[in-house]
Structure 1
């Protein structure tokens, strides 16, 4: 991901490219923006710049190594088991253990402390900060900034000790929530925050809307342009996001939910089973697709760390039942055949 990569250009043979990948990708993007390479200079363009950073092994540029060596790192509240109120795969997981000095270290690699890992990860972000700064400056220098929609996001988050994880994929904000920052001078107000939940599937319809092009086929996701224009009111419709993890299975392979043992084999032994979640307003509902497993409900305003599972409290029974039904209805609406045979859930309190 970082050094001396084999790179293909325009379908040609792969060639070895020396240097730090984040810096290389930035330089290629700058040439593209200036119209020097890869596009016709006087025609509209689209650029998807997908950096390798900060994927594992989280290698910072040499100039940034040690930049955060003195930074303090907070230990998440539920880094160690047991984690009551969580599904079994979360409750009993033991990836982190106390080290010789009491600090969290990785069980499989006790020489690597949580603090060292988090510092290194953030040092790897610094080259991204520099590169994106150069891209934005080049848009201004070339007079393209006011006619360019810029979206900064990522594929998912990454858990550093939250709920015991050192990974992505689980349905918690620490492990899947992505940044979404949008810039379009004169078209998108600066310095404002939209509190509505959105998903990656919303980006493509939004791009088509800003370009004034009809969608070529029916797509999941919704145009966000009204919410970007007015983050407080948007288009007046209720915003919800349905998210699902089905391992490495797609399409017809998701028509039925495999057993937990089958899921582990299909997903290269990964410990995170299939799940679906529903995000609306302040609530997040999660259903782990393993027979007999508990459901989860979190108030993200009162409990942003997702530590208190309200689904286990009798006073939230009706809320859980409502979201359970909404998830099934949305799965059916979007053509997910597994909605007809989801694994049974554990009985709710007060039932």
Structure 2
């Protein structure tokens, strides 16, 4: 069967979906008595108009890259991991325990150790739903959602009763050692004579996120395990016939997914807060679902979608600050983006495919 070109599927369809979402969002802004052109200008300038704005946009995008990749690898194995929120929170626990256990002399030692801690804790938290799916037939969507609530309760208990610094009323740990401080963009670029805002939270974990994008591509499209994951995702029956173990694929895929979600804590816990605080994930686990959907579970698409949602998050804060537009409106915009790129994707895809096929027939 003839299909439209790959570039149209990867670029044109998402662009049209985004355009429709933003047009509808503009109408919503107009309905509340605000100028949509002023609103989009404020969002763009607040997200990309200065190094400080870029720093916040890339900080949020880094979170979404990790959680988007986490959901994407589960998608390739035909699983819907809704537990990124909880896995990222538990990953933060792993980071905190590693950073507080040793008086680290330098971040070059602390970062690899914290990365391992975040990945192990995130993977371990995803292992239980994976086992229940593989061995007991429990649906992964239900169990991962339940484990989000369990992780929230567990983190609340630990931060109030076990990890809280004595004498501190806030539910948070003590500050990490100075040697666990990660270089910010300001510190990274200063040696090259490039000025970057010292107040922006973007840090070296952005480069770690880019490395994970590359390793994700290598794993899925250049390794035997990646082929097995994709084969299982396309057809479990064919995978079984080829000798691929469904139990093995489910367990490994979910553990990698949980590890990627856990790595988000390197950015927000170790890089930005420099201590573990309650509700440090702030919904990034759920936004990762939209990022993976919009990015078509490809690392390049995930990166671009994460940048978009980073723009929406930072731009939404600017709207609230300067235009007195409720930040909840950004949730509406995000929902419209998800709606058009996910649920209503075929509404755009079907007519575009027909146009390409009609054009191809005319040329032939």
TM-score (structure 2 length as normaliser): 0.27
TM-score (structure 1 length as normaliser): 0.28
If asked which structure has higher relative contact order (CA below 8 Å, sep 6+), I would say 2
Bigger strand share: 1
